[in-house]
Chain A
Amino acid sequence: GAGVSQSPSNKVTEKGKDVELRCDPISGHTALYWYRQSLGQGLEFLIYFQGNSAPDKSGLPSDRFSAERTGGSVSTLTIQRTQQEDSAVYLCASSLSSTSGGNNEQFFGPGTRLTVL
């Protein structure tokens, strides 16, 4: 399809296990963002990619969280040794680079709902 896709749509895991969440951005979009949405907390910025590099990792809540992007396309968010407080919806968005003229509207995927038991 033409939109941002994320997989899996739902993930249930046990505390202490590692999880990988995947994001496929819109073709041609060089910027990619990860957000976390917890109940009643709005959207929390996690990390931003421009191409394969991550100029801004300031939102990653701990060193258990990491993300990579290869080929300027697909991105994977990895959470190691998951904790119950990691339970949330993880949203991915992509946009054209802002260097194209200040109109980098972000297009969001449907999210991955992570439940840590």
Chain B
Amino acid sequence: AQSVTQPDIHITVSEGASLELRCNYSYGATPYLFWYVQSPGQGLQLLLKYFSGDTLVQGIKGFEAEFKRSQSSFNLRKPSVHWSDAAEYFCAVAPDMNRDDKIIFGKGTRLHILP
């Protein structure tokens, strides 16, 4: 069965430091991959998505993610975090977007920012 693993439950970084949030998926073929962010009291917002093509994907708010097939990973990165980036981040996979299929979410990584 398809699965998504976010190995870090909590991550703390200083404001201005770089960030990498890890995501690994389990699926035989190339899935469709997403990163969502959930700020306190807010709904989930799509940061970026990968369907095909260039493996380095640019998203909103200065985030990017790189799809690495050999590692079954889709890690989220930001070169310099801001205090407003404190939130929970979810990686998600859709095995086949041409079926009306559900998206499978990881358990999330909560990002804390030190001033």
Taking Cβ atoms with an 8 Å cutoff, the residues of A that contact B are 4, 31, 33, 35, 40-43, 45, 48, 50, 55-56, 59, 91, 93, 97-99, 102-111
Contact = CB atoms under 8 A, between A and B. Distances in A.
A102 B51 contact: yes
A41 B45 CA distance: 18
Contacts of B97: 98, 102-104
25 contacts: A4-B43, A35-B105, A40-B107, A41-B107, A42-B105, A42-B106, A43-B105, A48-B102, A55-B100, A56-B101, A56-B102, A91-B44, A98-B100, A99-B98, A102-B32, A102-B97, A103-B51, A104-B97, A105-B34, A105-B46, A106-B46, A106-B103, A108-B43, A109-B43, A110-B42
A35 B43 CA distance: 12
A45 B104 contact: yes
Contact of B44 (A56, A98, A102, A108): A108
Main DSSP-derived SS at the B contact region? loop
A12 B6 CA distance: 31
Interface of B: 9, 32, 34, 36, 41-46, 49, 51, 90, 97-108
A43 B51 CA distance: 21
A10 to B, nearest CB: 11
Contacts of A40: 9, 107
Contacts of B103: 33, 45, 106
Contacts of A42: 90, 105-108
A66 B43 CA distance: 23
Contacts of B106: 42
Given A31-B100, A103-B51, A104-B97, A110 B43 contact: yes
The 10 A-B pairs with the shortest beta carbon distances in the complex, nearest first, are A42-B107, A102-B97, A43-B105, A108-B44, A108-B43, A110-B43, A45-B102, A98-B100, A102-B98, A50-B100
Contacts of A31: 100
